[in-house]
Amino acid sequence: MTDIQIRTEGRAGRITLTREKALNALTYEMCLAIDTALKDWAEDPAVEIILIDAEGEKAFCAGGDIVEMYQTGIAGNYDYGRKFWRDEYAMNARLATYPKSVVAFLQGFTMGGGVGLGCHAAHRIIGDSTQIAMPECAIGLVPDVGGSHILAKLSALHPGAGAWLGTTGHRLKAMHGLFGFADHLVAEAQWPALKARMSETGSPHVPPELEGANLAAQADFYIQMRGIAAHFEKPHTEIAASLAADPSDLAQAALKALTRADPLATACHIEILRRLGPSSTIHEALTLEYRFTHRCMEHGNFLEGIRAAVIDKDKQPKWPHAALAEVTEAEVQAMLAPLGDDELTFPEDTP
């Protein structure tokens, strides 16, 4: 497959995304290939560590390849998207529960499906070019691929933070990615040697001298984050008004992003985070996400979101709700209700 390179080097199983011109967006076939490799290597004693990376400077992975979902969806075929998500989520769960060390190198855009591929790894390495975000609400989707699992953990530590990042798609740049999505900031010039060392030794160890985080600057960001997150602790009907009363640049940027996002998806994401807690599992998060994504083309606004952002590129989606405050509790509950026989299930080897 030309979109991905899967091989072994030394003691490492290597997965490299090679769709540089498409910002390494994940196709359905790539998801299946990754999952197959992970299953094979789990039982291979010669493979002690998994390294996931991508070609190009612009992006590790900017998301999933959603054009085919749009094309099949507007034709009335919702099964393709549902199958894509179901199998992708199984791969996300496998990564999060994998029995061997997984290391991900996340340069440039790491968004949506890229978060699902890279940020469930046990060891997540970012650089100065990294920009991590979950921008799904802007296209009528909820942060998925297990992103709500990460955001729920953030919210447990910093109330409202997960809702802020998930509803606005705020980009965590460079060392700000250490806020829940990454573990190490290492200069990207050091990555080739680090990958070679890991492949040779089978160890995910990152030498302390390679760490590049500025702790003082991180502390400044945490202070900013706590201020903006406080707005998102409120009921979804009150968030926009709270932001409007805050003249800070960060609050006004959040308000602008919030008013552009799909109100239904935004309200549903907030509810997903409310249901998840600090002890929730990746499986619980993916199950809630799948209830929404299973319905989002037929009963939600995902197709309109893709049309406006990717197909026509007019950036003027016509959402059924004019504002977040208009979304009712009944509408949210309907999108997140159990799916019966269609409920998401996981392979037995993703405990």
Which helix (H) or strand (E) segment holds residue 51: the answer is strand 49-54
State how far the Cα of 76 lies from the Cα of 26, in Å rounded to an integer.
23
- Among candidate residues 113, 118, 146, 180, the one labeled active-site is 113
Helix ranges (H only) for 176-335 are 191-201, 215-229, 239-244, 249-260, 263-275, 282-295, 302-306, 329-335
Contact 42, 100 (CB under 8 A): yes
Tokens (6 digits) for 339: 């799916």
Judge whether 113 counts as a catalytic residue: yes
Alpha-carbon torsion (120, 124, 130, 131), positive or negative: positive
Tokens (6 digits) for 232: 């998102």
- Among candidate residues 13, 63, 64, 127, the one labeled active-site is 64
Tokens (6 digits) for 136: 């799904």
Judge whether 65 counts as a catalytic residue: no
Show Cβ contacts of residue 155 under 8 Å, excluding neighbours closer than 6 positions. Answer: 161, 162, 163, 273
Tokens (6 digits) for 149: 């699992």
CA 308 to chain centre: 21
State how far the Cα of 21 lies from the Cα of 252, in Å rounded to an integer.
33
- Among candidate residues 48, 136, 183, 304, the one labeled active-site is 136
Judge whether 127 counts as a catalytic residue: no
State how far the Cα of 108 lies from the Cα of 61, in Å rounded to an integer.
8
- Among candidate residues 144, 183, 262, 289, the one labeled active-site is 144
Residue 261 DSSP label: S
DSSP string over 295-308: HTTTTSSHHHHHII
How many C-beta atoms surround the C-beta of residue 90 within 10 A? 20
Q: Are strands 109-111 and 59-61 parallel, antiparallel or unpaired?
A: parallel
CA 315 to chain centre: 22
Judge whether 298 counts as a catalytic residue: no
**Annotated catalytic sites, by residue?**
64, 113, 136, 144
